[in-house]
Structure 1
Amino acid sequence: MPHSSQRPPLRRRSLLIAATGTAAGLALPGYAQAQDYPSRPINFICPWPAGGTADASMRAICQAAARVLKQPIAVENKAGAAGMIGAQALAQAKPDGYTVGQIPISVTRFHQLGSLKADPRNDFTYLARTSGQTFGIAVLPQSPFKTLQEMVAHAKANPGKVSYAHAGIGGATHVGMEEFALAAGIQLNAIAYKGGAAALQDTLGGQVDMLADSSSWAPHVEGGKLRLLAIWGEERLPAFKDTPTLKDAGFKVVVDAPNGIGAPAGLEPAVEARLREAFRQAVLSDEFKAVATRIHAPVMYLDGPDYRKYVMGMYDHETRLIQRLKLKELLAKG
């Protein structure tokens, strides 16, 4: 006599268990790998030289993220080509979650200019937007330019004679300065360096008239070794409240160029989610905020999907900027 509680035959039980396991995700490709992730140290590509402000902020964020992930994160500096050597290396890495890195927002520009093969619309996984940058124009204390207006007047009278150091052709410091020069109706002599640290050193050494960089000038301004003529953000900095923004000085130019963290395209969703959460906690940590405050980099956090939308919008913005500033012609001239 059959019983309603009778167990199904062995073969049917096996099929049921297999089906249940599949439904739970146990048989999905990469599931076991994602469950164990991370099981070894992670490599972080910083596309800037060691010692600069970008390098300092990335090391702080990696320390905080490493505590969340319970694995070390080793920072590898792959500098050059205004950050694009590191960005290209990141895009070409294996998408297993063990290579991540900083993505300069200028990838949206350099892809269109042809100096970055990776397509920022398809070749990266975006994990978190981190912080902006406070760009500024600084000169030596003995410079004849006491104000931005004095520099502009001199540059108008001497086209192409006033030089400035920047961190690489087509990068944020170069493009921002050229956008300002266009608004001011002046022609400047742009001198490209491999990164902001080298540009700063030659400015301090008197090799160039001005420095255009992201807050590497701050301790030197505070120490009296440089004078800040203007910053490029929306608002003045509390630490330098007497220094005008470009907008204060009458030029409708704002540059903050926020950076973010990413990985190669094709991450397992569970690995991506783990990294997004780790870098969310890292960006919002007191440790990172302290470094961001010290280097005058406003925290501008966005989670991965929102960061990706931001990058797509910037891609369209850069398309227009390239045409307006004739950047392809500038790059051709070197």
Structure 2
Amino acid sequence: MNESLQHSLGARRRRALHCLAALFLGASGTFAWGPAQGGEFPDRPIQFIVPWPSGADAVLRALADTASRYLGQSIVVINKPGVSGTLGPAAMAKTAKNDGYTIAQVPLSVFRIPHLQATNYDPLTDFTYIIGLSGYTSGVVVRADSPWKTWAEFIDYAKKNPGKVSYATPGVNTTIDITMKQIARKEGIRWTGAPFKGAGDATAALLGGHLTALAGTTSWAPMVDSGKFRLLVTWGEKRTERWPNVPTLKELGYGIVANSPYGIAGPKGMNDKVVKALHDAFKKALEDPVMKKTLQQYDEEPFYLSTEAYRKYANTTFHQQKRIVEELHLAQP
């Protein structure tokens, strides 16, 4: 075989090998079925989309900082608020690569909004659910100088005075708003919800006597602890450690637990090993003593769900929210 022919065959062989490699390598130079060649996930910072404004994300930032220590890479919080907390997760699901380097918090609204309006995402097919993390403490407060010492007295007044009870909520069709509507439906009462954009304005309205009550998460806590507000009921699975004398809706017979659990997801089709790495880092963060103190500080309680349990939760919650929306006739015609 002469030198020219050898050179020609060698060139063909090299081209064939390059073509074969191209079938297995993506544009980023990584094998399609796994993390980057030559390194374990993660080998660069991770973007964590938080669907709330800066200032309303303290716990999530603490979780990201803590998890980054266990993951070995920084987790950078990207605030992307809007559409009741669904804008950020929806954008991630539709535009981010499924390599694990972009993840998002998944609030309860992700499962509710599709039943209220048209969305560009499907919570059952467009996400890879990674881990369930925590939930919020919510409840109803009145002014301390009001005549109602118990939730039963407050409900009795509402029944006897249709339309006279008004309460602040963080917005129409939020978990807070829907829970108050569920209570009204169960009790056969008529009261009026007033949406407020900020907790400060709602607190001021109640202090000024412009409202009867305030329903929401624990922005009211300092006023309760200082004796200016009275906490009548909380909405968790069990009584809170901070206010152990206050009953829950569940124990009062409503069959309602409204703690708005949240977790973390990525785009659909993520690699199992990448999911496990993220799950394990955030689970360790949730169990970290410093993180536990942070959750207590903000009146959140761990709501850990494994990857498989969180997938099941997503399916169950999507259909549960559909039932609630239909029962309360919340969807626009």
TM tier relative to shorter chain: 0.7 to 0.9
The structural deviation recorded for 1:304 is 1.6
Q: Deviations over 1:59-81 (max 9, x none)?
A: 12111111122222222333333
Partner residue of 1:216 out of 216, 219, 224: 219
SS of the equivalent of 2:167 reads strand
Residue 8 of structure 1: aligned partner = none
The offset of 1:193, in angstroms, is 3.5
Q: Distance in 1 between matches of 2:209 and 2:104?
A: 34
1:236 to 225, 228, 239: 239
Contact 2:115 2:331 in 1 (8 A): no
Corresponding residue number in structure 1 for 2:127: 124
Shift of residue 252, structure 1, vs aligned partner: 3.3
Q: CA deviation at 1:286?
A: 1.6
Which deviates further from its counterpart, 212-221 or 317-326?
212-221
Q: Tell me the SS of whatever aligns to 1:328.
A: coil
Kindly tell me the number of residue pairs found equivalent between the two proteins: 308
Alignment-derived partner of residue 99 in structure 1: 102
Residues 137 and 210, structure 1, Cα contact 8 Å, conserved in 2? yes
Match of 2:298 among 271, 295, 298: 295
Does the aligned pair in 1 maintain the 2:117–2:331 contact within 8 Å?
no
Query: Residue 41 of structure 2 corresponds to which residue in structure 1?
Result: 37
How far off its partner does 1:291 sit?
Answer: 1.7
Give identity over the alignment, percent.
Answer: 39
Q: CA offsets per residue over residues 11-65 of structure 1, 9 Å max, x none? A: 9xxx9xx99xx9xxx983263527353333322222233334xx22211211111
Matched residue, 2:8:
none
- Deviation at residue 259 of structure 1 after TM alignment: 0.8
The one of 41, 65, 68 equivalent to 2:67 is 65
The runs of 5 or more residues in structure 2 that have no matched partner are 1-12
Per-residue deviation at 1:137? Answer: 0.6
Q: More displaced, 319-328 or 139-148?
A: 139-148
| Residue of structure 2 equivalent to 1:46 | 50
User: 2: CA distance between counterparts of 1:105 and 1:164?
Assistant: 22
Report the 3-state secondary structure (helix = DSSP H, G, I; strand = E; otherwise coil) of the residue aligned with 1:31: coil
Letter of the structure 2 residue corresponding to residue 271 of structure 1: V
Residue of structure 2 in register with 1:166 after alignment? 169
Q: Answer yes or no: is the 8 Å Cα contact 1:292–1:298 preserved in 2.
A: yes
Q: In the TM superposition, what whole-angstrom CA distance separates every residue of 1:145-189 from its partner, at most 9, and x where no partner exists?
A: 333223223322333332222223222111112111211221221
Q: Which residue of 1 aligns with 2:3?
A: none
Residue 71 to residue 296, structure 1, CA distance change in 2 (3 Å): same
The C-alpha deviation readout for 1:190-220, integer Å capped at 9, x for no partner, is 2224465665565456553322222332233
CA distance, structure 2, for counterparts of residue 115 and residue 297 of structure 1: 31
**Secondary structure of the corresponding residue to residue 327 of structure 1:** coil
Whichever residue aligns with residue 45 of structure 2, its letter is P
Amino acid at match of 1:264: P
For the 8 Å contact 1:57–1:291, the answer to whether it is kept is yes
Runs of 5+ consecutive residues of structure 1 not aligned to the other structure: 1-10
Considering only aligned residues, what root-mean-square deviation do their CA atoms show, in Å? 2.9
- Equivalent residue number for residue 194 of structure 2: 191
- Say whether the 8 Å CA contact 1:93–1:99 is kept in structure 2: no
> 3-state SS of the aligned residue for 2:315?
helix
Counterpart CA distance in 1 for 2:314 and 2:64 is: 22
Residue identity opposite 2:59 in structure 1: S
Q: TM-score, normalised by structure 2?
A: 0.81
Deviations along 1:236-266, one digit per CA (max 9) or x if unpaired, are 2232122122244443332223111112223
Query: Is the partner of 1:236 in helix, strand or coil?
Result: coil
